[in-house]
Each structure stands twice: as structure tokens, then as C-alpha cells.
Amino acid sequence: MSVVGVVVQLVVLIVLAPYLIGLMRQVRAVLEGRAGAGIGQPWRDLRKQFRKEPITPEGSSWVFAAAPVVLVASTLVIAAVAPFIATMSPLDGVADLFAVVALLLVGTVALALAGLDTGTAFGGMGASREMTVAALAEPTILLAGFALSARVGSTNLSAIAERGQQVPGDVLSPATLLAAVALAVVVIAEAGRLPVDNPSTHLELTMIHEAMVLEYAGRDLALVEFASALRLTVLLGLWANLFLPWGVATEASVGALLIGVVAFVAKVAVLGAVLAAGEVFMAKLRLFRVPELLAGSFLFGVLAVSSSFFLA
């Protein structure tokens, strides 16, 4: 049954990811007074792109072609091992904070190298900005994880989620609240959402993620877009199940898995809708202000770790 849980978890995340992007676009459209294309539009776009032939820029190497596959594969591994639907898994030993952060960084580095491999000014600019954001965001994820793992005595994500279910009072502790704020900012930065990045812009001076993927087309672009949607779903799911772990299945039964699926979909949908609604009322930060925002989240992470060890 634990293997079934992993399969169900992968299927749910793969199916849900494009719908999450569609939901967020629809929320923005409603708040902006537009009709919107519906929550299923990202899946229709992916289907159309998968039918098109990929185009490789002249002078690029295998790095450019391999980056979308590496990005999707690294995100799928996180989707398989992290406790999204259930905490019991044959891959539980791999669901470690350090492993998840490393896998996130693998995908980021692969896409940055692809941007550099094209030899274009936009690709190099986007890669430089992406690595700057990653260098400031990844340590904050570790600090937030340390703050949550201090009481558990383990950096295993499943153990942290189970602790949250067993001791609900920990959710309202100062260390947990500080870690939640720190990780929320990092999720926005890692997913390339406002105010750090604007996923719907193509203005040359403001692009980060889009600057690295301008040269992709066809199936390669579909893989990159799908990986971006899956990455956002994974990040929101991690935040939800680390700080709001209720509903995650802790036993191998059909009923528990069904509850886990419903709870996960509901939590991610609500978080995505809240994030999309917030983006309507905020503008993108200037690039030199982004490090200040991430430095502030790092400070929250440091305070969370200090509080967790002080109260432990």
C-alpha cells in the first residue's frame, strides 16, 4: 500500500500542476474584470506544444537539450519522496531536507546553464539573476527546515509532518510562525512569482525565468512549462504540509489516502488562489530590491532557528 501511495501522489501532482496554474490565472482574471480562459487552458497549451517540433539554437550544445529533462526529473523525484499525500513511503529515507534542497538547486542550475549555453544576452542575464536569487533563497529553506526539525531531532520531512499532527500546538509557536514567513517568501522567489518575478512578462529588463527559456520551443518548451507548474505545486505543497500538516495520511489504507488527496488538493488550491489574489495588488520589485527581500526572509529563518533551540 505504501507503493500505491507514492504512485497516487505522483499522479495527483502531475495532473494538478497545470490546473493550479490555470486556477491562479482565472483568479487573477476575475479580480481584474476579465473572463479568463478557464483552469484547463494550461493543459491545452501543453498538448499543443508537445505536438510541435523542438528547435535548437545554432551553436548550443547538449546542455541546452538536456536541461528541460533534468528540470522535470529532479522535480518529479521531489514529488515522489516528499510527504504530500502520505508520510509512509518506501522512499521515506530519501525525503530529507538536504536532499530536497539539493534537487531544487539541480533544476535551477540546469536551466541557468541552458540559458548560458545559448550565448544570447538575455539568456546570460536571466541565468545570472536566477543564480543570485537561488544563492539567497536556498539557505533560507535550510534554516526554516532546521527550525522545524529541532523538536523532532531529524531533518526527515515525513517526521516533521507527523510531529505537526501529533502536537498541533507547535504550529502556533514563535519558531514555526517565523519559519512559515521565511519559507513563504522563498516559495514566491523559487517559483518566480510577484513581487520577485513576473511569469507573464516579456519585458527585457525585468525577466528572470522567461529570459532563460526564450530559445525553447515545441516539446522542450512544454517540458519547461510543465516543470515550472510542477515546481510551484511542490513548493506550495511543502509549505502546506510542513505548517498545516492535517489531512496527510499516516497509515496505509484507502480511506486515509483519499483524505490525504482531498486535503492536499484543497490546501494547494487555497494557497494558489491567495497567491494569485495577492499578485493583483502588488507590483514587481526592482531587481536591486529583491536581495533585500530575500535577506529579510533569511533573517526570519535565523530568528526561527534561534527560537527553536531556545524553546527546545
- Split at pLDDT 50, 70, 90, the class of 202 is low
Share of the chain above pLDDT 70, in %: 96
Share of the chain above pLDDT 90, in %: 55
At position 296, the amino acid (one-letter code) is: G
Cell of 142: 535550510
pLDDT recorded at residue 96 = 87
- The answer to whether 1 touches 85, Cβ cutoff 8 Å, is no
Q: Is 86 helix (H, G, I), strand (E, B) or coil?
A: strand
- The answer to whether 284 touches 194, Cβ cutoff 8 Å, is yes
Tell the burial category of 220 from Cβ atoms under 10 Å away from its Cβ (0-12, 13-18, 19+).
buried
Find the radius of gyration of the CA atoms of the chain.
Answer: 19
pLDDT, mean of residues 79-88: 89
What sign results for the dihedral spanned by CA atoms 231, 81, 8, 255? Answer: negative
**191: closest CA among 131, 241, 234?**
234
pLDDT, mean of residues 3-19: 92
- The answer to whether 111 touches 23, Cβ cutoff 8 Å, is no
Name every residue whose Cβ is closer than 8 Å to that of residue 274 and which is 6 or more positions away in sequence.
none
**pLDDT tens per residue across span 237-280:** 999 999 998 888 888 788 889 999 999 999 999 999 999 999 99
At position 306, the amino acid (one-letter code) is: S
User: What is the enclosing helix (H) or strand (E) of 140?
Assistant: helix 121-149
**112: closest CA among 128, 132, 135?**
128
Query: Is the predicted pLDDT of residue 76 greater than 90, yes or no?
Result: yes
Residue 156 main-chain phi, psi, to 5 deg: -70, 125
Residue 193 main-chain phi, psi, to 5 deg: -105, 165
- Number of CB atoms found within 10 A of residue 270's CB: 13
Altogether, the residues listed in the chain come to a count of 312
Q: Would you give the DSSP letter of residue 302?
A: H
Which letter, b or e, does each residue of 6-36 get, where b requires 16 or more Cβ atoms within 10 Å of its Cβ? bebbeebbeebbbbbbbbbbbbbbeeeeeee
pLDDT recorded at residue 312 = 56
**pLDDT tens per residue across span 155-197:** 889 889 888 888 877 778 888 999 999 999 999 999 888 888 8
CA distance 200 to 218: 19
CA distance 196 to 293: 9
